[in-house]
Amino acid sequence: MALSYKARRRWSLVILLIGLPVYITVAVNVVEMFDRPPLWLELLIFVGLGFLWMMPFKFVFRGIGQADPDAPRDSDKG
């Protein structure tokens, strides 16, 4: 089942405004459970976790910044 453009826009807002802050909080708390690694390793861990977060939602964000493909165009009015 494919999501419509409007549904993908709404879900992308929900994911960015609610999901991303929750994920950041969880990622920071998980990393803090262990001894603090060197700065370069900590940066690498957070970059890796950022890519890990992005992968399941890639289909939702694809094409969101472009115009609605389902909207009527000015040239279609005749």
Question: What pTM, to 2 d.p., does this model score?
Answer: 0.71
77 versus 49: the higher-pLDDT residue is 49
* pLDDT tens, position by position, 3-46: 888 888 999 999 999 999 999 998 889 888 888 888 998 889 88
Domain edges within the chain: 1-57
**Cα distance between residue 26 and residue 20, in whole Å:** 10
How many Cα atoms within 13 Å fall on the side-chain side of residue 57? 19
User: Cα angle at 52 between 14 and 6, to 5 degrees?
Assistant: 30
What is each CA distance from 20 to 30, 48, 67, 71, 75, in whole angstroms?
A: 15, 15, 24, 29, 39
* pLDDT tens, position by position, 50-66: 888 888 888 888 888 88
**Cα distance between residue 62 and residue 57, in whole Å:** 9
